[in-house]
Structure 1
Amino acid sequence: MTEEQYLSGRILLAMPGMFDPRFERSVNVMCVHDENGALGIGIGQVREGVTFHDVLNELGIDPGAAPDRAVCNGGPVEPGRGFVLHSTDWGGSDTIAVQPLCALSASMEVLRAIAEGRGPSRWLMALGYAGWGAGQLEGEMRHHGWYAADPHPEVLFDTPVDERWNATWQAEGIDPALLSNATGQA
């Protein structure tokens, strides 16, 4: 696989009929994808009963004037670990670029910056992540599991969480109702 084929910076959508029900209608920002595997942050489901202020309070950070937002269910791996997907107008010591879509930070530094009003202008928080071993994601894509959409910042930052799956398909010019839930063999 060449670097151009790697999916970092794209939005990964679960195909209709996804073989793993945990990922039905899943929407993931692909943050890392290379020969060693992949890491994505789920942005299509809310973590029930958890808000941004809840996370800050648990960590002993005064929420200040930060808006209280729902926290996304980032994925089944390390569900207690927090990640912030954000605009590139802020960067901390652990921030990685997820070009061309956004940046990713996973430190207390970004949480404090948001709470103090000096953080990124656009952001969302997720708990957990989705991870794939070397070649695993490619295999799942060959078996009708995933569709790699182009980066759509408006879906990430301007679309309500429960509308992101449909909104990404629409941004791609695809009606998901017309997609088959099975693949054929040639």
Structure 2
Amino acid sequence: MSDGQVMRGRLLVAAPGLREPTFHRTVILLLDHSATGAVGVVLNRPSPVDVAAVLPEWHSHVADPPALFVGGPVGEDTAMGVAVLLPGARPSPDLDALTGPFGLVNLDAAPEAVAGQVRGVRVFVGFAGWGEEQLEGEIAERSWFVVDAEPADLLTREPEQLWRRVLRRQGGDLAIVSTYAEDASLN
């Protein structure tokens, strides 16, 4: 699916009308997209749990804030390490390049095994998933804006500001959308 290749590594930004609490005002990095579905992680939902409580060896290797992030409602019993790769990073059993600057880190590995190949790591509990044609339908009904991702989106120190910041940098109508009130009925 050619569109899947274009979507992988891009962001889904929730439209203001998407009121479902799990995805309201989320920014999702698409890790995979194909004819059979899509998988991504929510970048702007830090949990109150510090990485040190679950993966103490990774605590000093994750980006600030060092919290576990709620990646989505699927697979909430597993953790996933997503990284921004340094130029020239080589795939290995501990590091899997996805697309562009993004990759997956094996959290069972020693952090030192990948530290020299990544600019930063974020740990997610759970992920967002869509079945065949489901995401395309949600995009067609204008629930999501699809925009380019930047490495700083994954590693932001201010995840609570990410939704507005990503929309604002798009310019035009999407920059205006970034100013919408939390309750869209007030606009």
Q: Distance in 2 between matches of 1:152 and 1:170?
A: 14
Relative to structure 1, the CA distance from residue 20 to residue 106 in structure 2 (aligned partners, 3 Å threshold; closer, same or farther) is: farther
Q: Distance in 2 between matches of 1:79 and 1:6?
A: 27
Alignment RMSD, CA only?
Answer: 2.8
Q: Distance in 2 between matches of 1:15 and 1:128?
A: 22
Name the SS for the 1:139 alignment partner. Answer: helix
**1:144 match:** 142
- Under a length normalisation based on structure 2, what TM-score does the superposition of the two structures give? 0.79
Kindly indicate whether the alpha-carbon contact (under 8 Å) linking 2:69 and 2:123 is maintained by their aligned counterparts in 1.
Answer: yes
**1:18 match:** 18
- Tell me, yes or no, if structure 1 residue 39 matches structure 2 residue 43: no
1:163-174 equivalent positions in 2, closer than 5 A: 163-173=161-171, 174=175
1:1-186 equivalent positions in 2, closer than 5 A: 2-3=2-3, 6-48=6-48, 50-57=49-56, 62=57, 65-66=60-61, 69-89=66-86, 91-93=91-93, 95-109=95-109, 112-113=110-111, 118=116, 120-173=118-171, 174-176=175-177, 177=179
Please identify runs of 4+ aligned residues in structure 1 that moved more than 6 A.
none
The runs of 5 or more residues in structure 2 that have no matched partner are none
The amino acid across from 1:140 in the alignment is: E
Residue-pair matches, total: 174
Q: Distance in 1 between matches of 2:170 and 2:52?
A: 34
- Under a length normalisation based on structure 1, what TM-score does the superposition of the two structures give? 0.80
The amino acid across from 2:42 in the alignment is: G
Kindly indicate whether the alpha-carbon contact (under 8 Å) linking 1:46 and 1:71 is maintained by their aligned counterparts in 2.
Answer: yes
Kindly indicate whether the alpha-carbon contact (under 8 Å) linking 2:52 and 2:59 is maintained by their aligned counterparts in 1.
Answer: no
The amino acid across from 1:131 in the alignment is: G
Q: Distance in 2 between matches of 1:86 and 1:127?
A: 14
Relative to structure 1, the CA distance from residue 116 to residue 147 in structure 2 (aligned partners, 3 Å threshold; closer, same or farther) is: closer
Q: Distance in 1 between matches of 2:50 and 2:20?
A: 27
Q: Following TM superposition, by how much is the alpha carbon of 1:107 offset from its aligned partner in structure 2, in angstroms?
A: 3.7
Q: Distance in 2 between matches of 1:99 and 1:138?
A: 20
Name the SS for the 1:128 alignment partner. Answer: strand
The runs of 5 or more residues in structure 1 that have no matched partner are none
Name the SS for the 2:111 alignment partner. Answer: helix
